[in-house]
Structure 1
Amino acid sequence: MSKRILIVSVLLLTAVLFLQAKVRLPHIISDNMIVQQTSKVHLWGWGTHGKIVKVSVSWSVQIYSTTVGKDGQWNVDVTTPRASYQPLNIVFDDGERTVINNVLAGEVWVCAGQSNMEMPLKGFPNCPVEGCNEAIIEAGGLTDKIRFCKIPSRMAMNPLDDASCSWRCVDQRNVPDQSAVGYFFARMMNRALDIPIGLIEANKGGTRVESWLNRENLQALTSEPLDSAQIVRQYSWDYHRPLLWGNGTFSPILGYTVKGILFYQGCSNVEFPSPNYANLLACLVEQWRNGFGQGQLPFYFVQIAPCWYNNDANGTEAAYLREQQLKAQTIIPNSAIVCTNDCVYPWETQQIHPRMKKPVGERLAQIALNRNYGFENIRCESARFEKMRIKGDTCIIFLKNDYQGISRYEDFQGFEIAGDDRVFHKAEVAYDWRIGLMVRSEKVPHPVAVRYCFRNFQLGNVYNQALLPLFPFRTDNW
């Protein structure tokens, strides 16, 4: 009997040693992954201390090697080829081989933020996505062209180094579950570049900018609770909680080599307003860039759309947040922002998830193509307020990024004008390309300020020569 027990013990010990000998990879390094082309791509994992891990790749004869550290971790940087649809593989060997198959070299972008980025192509309940069926039909021809990896939304008190996820090739079965904004971004990118596009979706609906900041930045810039019990007491809705979503949902991807970050967030910060939002967002971008360790990664983000916040279309809570977002773009290096003032239908006043996701994704793609891929003729900037001159009863508005023209000469909507009493009235607007936008109202004989779509829900109709909408603005600081 004792001899049998000894034999079983030896077999179990052998099995344990066998399992320990094989390298373990993070889930994001898996079959069907897209690696960033022509880069030194970071690969990592875990193994037995002291073991040598050799990494070989199908596109090169070079063999990379590294040693597992005392903490059980190993890292190696691998040079990747130019983008193509040619399937590749990567072999990890520490005495036993682990093979990652059907790898493609292409462009990898992160899709971060809250629910309007998370919103899948099939939509949320009572929140459809325009163009869904067309996109699903087309997805059948994009299997080797677009791939995505969805990171499960998870909270954690400490940063996680792995997440249960996998890379999926876009097809008619799984594309309904992909981020709609991400999909429309990737589709336009693939059409323009004809190379594989990979998306890493790390987002969570309802989150605030504070939800993604790490402990050090929260301590330095906010008064947010950082003890788990205090966090739960202060925020009954888990998606509003600080720290936890960044640790659990974003930290696992920080080792991956990417091209840039797409970000759509802000709605929850209307409910929890902060005059410091722009600086918090700038801090978050710096935090993520430091985490990826790839320098000033492109950061392209989306201004929140019109919505009836607090059941008040005429309120200004959301307008101030949009203003903070526009300010953030001016202080974040290598960043750009998309205007969505026209991406809502008039009947969607109470819809926090408007159905028009295609123009949002495509405008992000146009920025990326212009700034990162040599498409200099793509005009990707929305017009913005530059300055105002007052002449008698008329305020003359000058714009920048109008590409030498705007879209109309009459029927201007969304403008308001006020005098010293700070009461705003609907304005009449005329346009002369030699002068500018001339704003006036019979009710305001001595104007001092102009606002454009500076409400929770107010739709304008001014576009620049590229048919991109004018950013909401105000000339006052009231």
Structure 2
Amino acid sequence: MGSSDEYADLFMSLIADWRDKWQKPQMPFYFVQLSNHGKKEEIQDDSDWAAIREAQAQALHLNHTGMVVTTDIGKGKSNTFQSTLETGLRLSQLALKQTYGKRKMPQYPVYKSYSIEGNTLRIHFENLGKGFLHPDPVRGFIIAGTDRIFYPATVTVKKKEIIVQSPDVPHPVAVRYNWANHTDGALFGASGLPVAPFRTDNW
């Protein structure tokens, strides 16, 4: 995880340096999160690619930044975008909303918090609109107990919440979504934009 920690620091330093060089401390900075890479794997809790995605997202703590999620449109094997047009469209929507004040632009659904309820984890989100758009069954969620061993989770969608559980994890303490080089989940908000990969642990 050292490389991802270094990436986060360097990325934020890059943004600060560019703003300093341009003498525009409030200059907007929008970027694209890593797309899919390699082959799909159901469990890949040691994914360095996912850790870099998380490191990229840390830049959102800086003012006037924005991130486009592309885990739903990337070509895994070639590590390129399946739809450059779609990526550009999402960047333009981000700029229109955050820089030009167009409030009706779609927003990305964002992980907010979770709670433990017996043998399940209940996950809460923001910016969902009227709820989720999703396939059945929902894939991409893995959970673990205190042993830190992850298993695929069964997912129940309830309006603006996700409930996950697994018979292999009677006492879950952590959940991850799309934590892999090549993600398998296809969970979207009502806006049609995908939920970004996330984890609740720091293992």
Please report the TM-score for the alignment, with normalisation by the length of structure 1.
0.40
Q: CA deviation at 1:409?
A: 7.4
Q: Does 1:371 align with 2:98?
A: yes
Q: CA deviation at 1:278?
A: 1.8
State whether residues 135 and 187 of structure 2, in contact with CA within 8 Å, keep that contact through their aligned partners in structure 1: no
1:328 pairs, out of 34, 49, 59, with 59
Structure 1 runs (4+) deviating above 3 angstroms are 311-315
Distance 1:432 1:274 in 2: 34
Q: Look up the SS of the partner of 2:52 in the other structure.
A: helix
Q: Does 1:393 align with 2:123?
A: no
Q: Which amino acid aligns with 2:202?
A: N
Gaps of 5+ in 2: none
Distance 2:150 2:24 in 1: 47
Name the counterpart of 2:146: 420
The share of aligned pairs that are identical, in percent, is 34
Q: Look up the SS of the partner of 2:132 in the other structure.
A: coil
Q: Look up the SS of the partner of 1:275 in the other structure.
A: helix
Residue deviations 1:426-451 (CA, integer Å, cap 9, x gap): 111111126x2110111111111111
Q: Look up the SS of the partner of 2:86 in the other structure.
A: helix
Q: Which amino acid aligns with 1:431?
A: V
Gaps of 5+ in 1: 1-269
Distance 2:76 2:49 in 1: 13
* Count of matched residue pairs: 200
Distance 1:424 1:317 in 2: 16
Q: Which amino acid aligns with 2:57?
A: L
Name the counterpart of 1:343: 73
Q: CA deviation at 1:393?
A: 0.8
Q: CA deviation at 1:372?
A: 2.1
Q: Look up the SS of the partner of 1:389 in the other structure.
A: strand
Q: Which amino acid aligns with 1:354?
A: F
Q: CA deviation at 1:312?
A: 8.5
Considering only CA atoms, is the larger Rg found in Structure 1 or Structure 2? 1
Q: Which amino acid aligns with 2:111?
A: F
Q: Look up the SS of the partner of 1:396 in the other structure.
A: strand
Residues 354 and 371 of structure 1, relative CA distance in 2, 3 Å threshold? closer
Distance 1:409 1:355 in 2: 20
Residues 386 and 341 of structure 1, relative CA distance in 2, 3 Å threshold? same
2:34 pairs, out of 304, 329, 334, with 304
Name the counterpart of 1:453: 178
Residues 428 and 362 of structure 1, relative CA distance in 2, 3 Å threshold? same
Q: Which amino acid aligns with 2:168?
A: K
Please report the TM-score for the alignment, with normalisation by the length of structure 2.
0.91
Q: CA deviation at 1:324?
A: 0.7
State whether residues 429 and 440 of structure 1, in contact with CA within 8 Å, keep that contact through their aligned partners in structure 2: yes
